[in-house]
Amino acid sequence: MAAALSLIPELDDIVKNGSAEKRAEAIERISGLFLQGAARFETRHVALFDDILVGLVPATGIATRAELAERLSKLDNAPPTLVKQLARESEIRIAGPILSRSPLLDDPTLVDIARERGQEHLAAISGRQALSPSVTDVIVRRGDRDVVRSVAANAGAQFSESGYSGLVKRATDDGMLALTVGQREDLPAASLKQLLAKSVEVVRRRLFDTAKPKQKAAINQAMIELSGAPKSQPQVRDFEPAQRAVLALHQAGNLDEAALLDFSRQHKYEESVAALAALTGMRLNVVNQLMLGDRYDPVLLLGKSIGLEWATVRAVLVLRLGPGRVASSPDIEEARINYERLSPATAQRVLTFWRLRDNGKSA
């Protein structure tokens, strides 16, 4: 400790009058001494280095502070005040290593920083080896898409009921996040059920296919409960005005793909179903049931059978979700690829089968 003490008389002059090089050199000397003896230092020794460096470090350059942060981030007996000081830096090159690794940051400090700083700081925190619910609550609420995906994939992160609710809500429009959340083994059964209920069929299939055996069993159980749960009362729809409007368009020679696209983009469900039924020659009730199903494949088949452009089919798929909901990009892209692969002949054969089956039921 004598070497460290010998530096103390020089510090005031270095801070007030010393060049950047002098300050960096002083930090290098003091931190070097600390790192050499860190394993055997007692609390009072660490406190002495803490007092010295806390006063010296703020006056040094970013590169020097970043290098010091990288060194201290790996120690469990680093100077605690200095560590928190570095963690609150706005420069992510300095704060990042501390936020990502230092075991000295307590939950209140992490919560404060998560509330105050931007996405780079949140991303650094999201990768810590362990995170408590009080910290993840803030990350889920404030983080952007990449940050939330990162914390959801962190096996050492714990989430409160509110945190999981937030993840499920954000996963509604993010298929990749839904897959990540659904694969967490600590996901409560109620949250898993909520996630599956809000996910489109393609996400459910992917989630099941990629899940571990234990999680597959939980997914199966949730799906059984969902399928057996009392259904909410279906929305009562009045199709008569829509049928009259579509008939008028037909009589005027204006019932075409452009009309269907316009109805779908305006979220006019009844008019869209009536137009699609008229264009495909299917009964309105049958088309409505196909639209309400869990899978999007029937919409692809209807569209391909009459040669609709992908933009129109996409608008109808989005219409199925309802106002205010947006399909995730991976789901839409998979639907587009499947639509391109689907042959008109196959679609028309399926449509003929549906008509025959419908006629048989009607008879």
pLDDT over threshold 50, residue 3: no
Query: How far is Cα 242 from Cα 268, in angstroms, rounded to an integer?
Result: 9
Tokens at 276, concatenated:
């699609």
Burial (CB count within 10 angstroms: exposed 0-12, middle 13-18, buried 19+), residue 260: buried
Largest CA distance in the chain: 103
Give per-residue pLDDT as tens, 293-343.
Answer: 767 788 999 999 999 999 999 999 988 877 666 666 777 888 899 899 999
Nearest-angstrom CA–CA distance, 179 and 210: 8
What's the burial of 92, exposed, middle or buried (CB within 10 Å: 0-12/13-18/19+)?
A: middle
- Spatial contact of 280 and 306, defined as CB atoms under 8 Å apart: yes
How far apart are the C-alpha atoms of 278 and 60, rounded to whole Å? Answer: 75
Domain map of the chain by residue range? 1-105, 240-362
Q: Is 131 helix (H, G, I), strand (E, B) or coil?
A: strand
State the Cα torsion 216-217-220-226 to the nearest 10°. Answer: -120
Polymer length in residues for the chain: 363
What average pLDDT does the segment 156-163 reach?
A: 95
Distances (CA, A) of 205 to 181, 209, 289: 14, 6, 21
Which helix (H) or strand (E) element contains residue 118?
none
pLDDT digits (tens, 9 = 90+) for 43-83: 777 787 777 777 777 777 898 889 889 989 988 888 899 99
